[in-house]
Amino acid sequence: MIKADNLIKDYGTVRALQGISFEIKDGEFYGLLGPNGAGKTTTISILSTIIAPDQGSVQIAGYDLKKDPEQCKRSIGVVPQEIALYNKLSAYDNLLFWGSLYGVAPATLKTRIDEILTLFGLSDRKNDRVDTYSGGMKRRINIASALLHRPKVLLMDEPTVGIDPQSRNLIFEVLEKLHKEGMTIIYTTHYMEEAERFCDRIGIIDKGAIIAQGTLAELQNTGGIKESIAVTFNELKDDLKAKLNSTISGEFTFTDNILTYSSAHVKNDLSKLIIQCNEAGADISHIEIQKVNLETVFLALTGKQLRD
C-alpha cells in the first residue's frame, strides 16, 4: 500500500532524513517511534505531499507520489502534529470545510459529519466554536476531519500529545475500530506504550534513519538484549556479597544493595535465584522483573533514552 524508498531531506545544512525506506502492507498499522527531532514529521510531510524529498521515491496505493500526487492525495487522510482548525468556526463548520476540501459531495458530507461526530463523542458540542473546546476535543475534531473522505490510508503525527486521558482513550478506541475495518495506518509517536499497544510493525527512527524495524517480538529480540531480575536486599555487607558471588550461577552485577541478574529465560531462573539468595542468607526486600520493551531496545541501539 505504501512504499518509501531511500528518502533524503535536507533543511539547509541539516540532513533531516538520511535514507528512510519502509514498505507497509494493505491494512497494516505501522508505527514510527522516535525521539524529538528524529524525522517523524518530515517523513509524514513527505508522504502527505506537503514537502518534497530531495531524493528517494514514494508509492501510495499503486501511484507514484511525484508523478501522480493527486491520486496519492485521494487515498490519504492526514492528521498533522499541529492542530489545524478554524478556532472561530464550530466543529460542524470546520468539518464542512475540511470535507469539501477533500472533495466529499455535499449530500454525502452532511451524513458523514453526523456519523463522525458520534464516533468521536462530540455530537452535543457540534455547534460550539472550536475555541471553547479542550485540547483533547480539538484533537478529536482534527482526526475526524481527516476521515470524512474515507481514505484508505491514515497518516497520524503524534495525535495524543498533551491531551486528557478520556480523549486519548476515545482516540485509541476509534483507531482500533478503523484498523479492524482494514484501514492502513501510519502512526508516529515517542510513546513506546502506544507503539507497543497498536502497531503490527514498528520502525524505530533516530537522527533521520530507521535503525530497527519489525514486530514488537522481533524488535525485542534485536541487539541481544536480555530480560533481567533486580533483587533488592535489606542490607548487603561485603561478606554476604562474597557469598552470593559464589552461590549464584549466571550473569549478574551488583549496584549498591541491588543485584541485577540477566537471562534469556528470566521466568525459569527466578525461583532458582531466590533459593540461591536464601542459601547465602540474604534478606530480600524487593524483586522486580525487567522486561525487554521498546525503551530498552532503543537504549541498547542508541545509548540514549527515548524520552528526554
Ligand X SMILES: Nc1ncnc2c1ncn2[C@@H]1O[C@H](COP(=O)(O)OP(=O)(O)OP(=O)(O)O)[C@@H](O)[C@H]1O
Among 21, 49, 71, 81, binds ligand X (CB under 6 A): 81
Closest to 8 (Cα-Cα) out of 20, 25, 23: 20
Among 14, 52, 101, 275, binds ligand X (CB under 6 A): 14
Cell for 123? 455530537
> Smallest distance from the beta carbon of 84 to ligand X, in angstroms?
15
Candidate ranges 73-81, 165-173, 210-218, 235-243; the one touching Mg ion (CB under 5 A): 73-81
Among 9, 34, 41, 48, binds Mg ion (CB under 5 A): 41
Size of the site for ligand X (CB under 6 A): 13
DSSP letters, 214-263, are E-HHHHHTGGG--EEEEEEES---HHHHHHHHHH--SEEEEETTEEEEEE
Residue 80 binding ligand X, by CB under 6 A: no
Name the residue nearer to ligand X (CB basis): 33 or 170: 33
Q: Which of residues 80-109 bind Mg ion (CB under 5 A)?
A: 81
Pairing mode, if any, of strands 153-157 and 76-79? Answer: parallel
Residue 40 binding ligand X, by CB under 6 A: yes
Residue 204 binding ligand X, by CB under 6 A: no
CA angle at residue 197 from 142 to 76, to 5 degrees? 35
Name the residue nearer to ligand X (CB basis): 286 or 307: 307
Name the residue nearer to ligand X (CB basis): 11 or 86: 11
For residue 257, the partner it binds in Mg ion, ligand X, none, with Cβ less than 5 to 8 A by kind, is none
Name the residue nearer to ligand X (CB basis): 191 or 252: 191
d(CA 180, CA 2): 18
Residue 306 binding ligand X, by CB under 6 A: no
| 126 CB neighbour count, 10 Å cutoff | 17
> Smallest distance from the beta carbon of 36 to Mg ion, in angstroms?
8
- Bridge partners of 254, per DSSP, are 259
Site string for ligand X, 151-190 (x = CB under 6 A): ---------------------------------------x
Residue 123 binding ligand X, by CB under 6 A: no
Residue 163: which residues within 8 A CB-CB, separation 6 or more?
134, 135, 136, 139, 171
CA of residue 130 relative to chain centroid, distance: 27
Q: Which of residues 234-253 bind ligand X (CB under 6 A)?
A: none
d(CA 65, CA 59): 6
User: Contact positions toward ligand X, by CB under 6 A?
Assistant: 11, 14, 16, 34, 36-42, 81, 190
User: Contact positions toward Mg ion, by CB under 5 A?
Assistant: 40-41, 81
